[in-house]
A and B are shown apart, each in its own frame.
Chain A
């Protein structure tokens, strides 16, 4: 009942004109960038970070969260109608969604995706409201070894689950940790790696790094690509699914919610992995798997539900442990830190307006999205008329100005340009920036937790395995590493894997 009454208080926080406006802005921007190929939620949130500096923490996080789950809705539209995923989590939807469009059933595909997204999102919000306080109560007992183990688990899962090449991801994650060590030593305060530049005495700004790697890197990549036109947009007829459609997809929606919720909480999880896992699961348990890829509505309903559920549950580890589970959440953590708020087990007690306000805003945001997506799909599709070069130019201008406003230093602009060049080169050479940003954010948490653990144990590394919680987490790390190695061997020998392996294979394809 405590959670319920706190949630009702949370609605009081949302229902102020300012906060409602930012929720609306967030979900609308999310839907728009979801529709537009070329700008994903990570890049957009990176670009919006400086703007959040000037508004209240509640409004800032409500808006950024809205961008995240809103993009899951928007990405579906172009996936289904054009076979162009607006953002990565909707890529798998294109397989059956576009086939449905070709069969004249694009409307019901979008309809079931919106309904599934709403159900998955709403169930995940309820889960978040009840699970997060429990986890926070439990997490109060966490000490440095537990935090170190959790952070390592996060980095291991990100390098294994969410990326193509494990070796490349490990290298960039280590590089991210090294970049995080620039600036004052977190325990003794002595300056490290300042390269004789006073601007580096306080370290590198996350916003400059994230905006460069994701925002500028992505826009430059789009600039390089020749824009060619092929394909035709599908016709949209009636949008509400038929009774048969609903019968076929209701269990997929149920399973999508059940899969998406825990995957979102996993470090390295999030929208992409949950939608891929749901698709793999639906295909695996289908009576006739050959229907998949030819317009099976379950192939739309399951993944779309899962990616929305996971985008909500991903807030649980962030708000209760202060650990972001993917790059988007790492940026939202950055936004909180810019507001001098460090999320952790005490957040619910110390900042109840923020915690419960954000959860309540998700209910409101999901309702707005359902209202926006069902009747206005046609309007959102019109956005595809705007050329990405124009959006890119304006976004770059605002980004450069925005990063300057954080510390009023021209140096940050140069850091962002350098990070943009690195981001572009990483994209061209098959390195993913997400592990770098996540490692950069977690770097100081991990270093402090590790060094404190060593001081506690007198240099005995067994402290990480001898304590029950950290020991269990390290066991999971070992299991993930072992699965990764055996899975790679199995696939090299041409064997078929389970759902996890199928998911990873889908991600690689």
Chain B
């Protein structure tokens, strides 16, 4: 075991520390998920169509889903009378916008991936993620945004033989 002096110790100024989540106190926030679950259960129910339910003696394909749909609705209703506020965190505007932007970046990746291949999609995604959402330096962003997709391409396509949609950038050097 090595002795470590203070100078050798890593800088942990950016290590996320445990901070207690902000507890929401709203009754509504704890009940909205229950309404969503009931809506989902009803949506599935509408899709049962002519699925045969059968009976206990001979349960059909619809028997089990029907039991589950009823169960979800029943327990969601129980949730309306129980105290479910524990664990709810408040949605703060800046944080929520960052997360939505994060999902936007992921969605952009999927769309670009389908149209122009993996490398360009990866470059665009990492630029958005590292610079736009995490505020990394331009130097680090550009290096990682170029190197990571290229290495991923080499690993999956060249080493593992995986087929991605035709890649616009790889076609520049005869890749696929």
Contacts and interface: CB of A to CB of B under 8 A. Distances in A.
A294 interface: no
B47 A107 contact: no
Contacts of B130: 389-390, 393
Interface residues of A, number: 92
B2 to A, nearest CB: 5
A447 B64 contact: yes
A223 B99 contact: yes
A321 to B, nearest CB: 21
B40 A175 contact: yes
B10 A238 contact: no
A427 B21 CA distance: 11
A195 to B, nearest CB: 6
A290 interface: no
B123 to A, nearest CB: 10
Contacts of B51: 190, 192
Interface in A378-406: 378, 381-382, 384-385, 387-390, 392-394, 396-398, 400-401, 404-405
A246 B3 CA distance: 22
A178 B44 CA distance: 9
Contacts of B158: none
B113 A167 contact: no
Interface in B141-165: 144, 148-149, 152, 156, 160, 162-164
A431 B18 CA distance: 19
Interface in B93-132: 95-96, 98-99, 102-103, 106-107, 109-110, 113-114, 118, 122, 125-126, 129-130
Given A384-B10, A451-B64, A175 B37 contact: yes
Contact of B91 (A195, A404, A428, A461): A428
A84 B2 CA distance: 22
Contact of A417 (B8, B10, B103, B118): B103
B106 A216 contact: yes
Interface string A177-188: 110010001011
B102 A223 contact: yes
A174 B107 CA distance: 29
B89 interface: yes
A225 B1 contact: no
A58 to B, nearest CB: 18
A195 B47 contact: yes
Given A238-B1, A390-B134, A410-B114, A229 B15 contact: yes
- The 8 A-B residue pairs with the shortest CB-CB distance, nearest first, are A430-B87, A229-B13, A389-B134, A459-B57, A459-B56, A239-B1, A185-B61, A224-B95
Given A220-B102, A447-B64, 7 more contacts: A164-B86, A175-B40, A177-B68, A178-B44, A224-B96, A225-B95, A455-B58
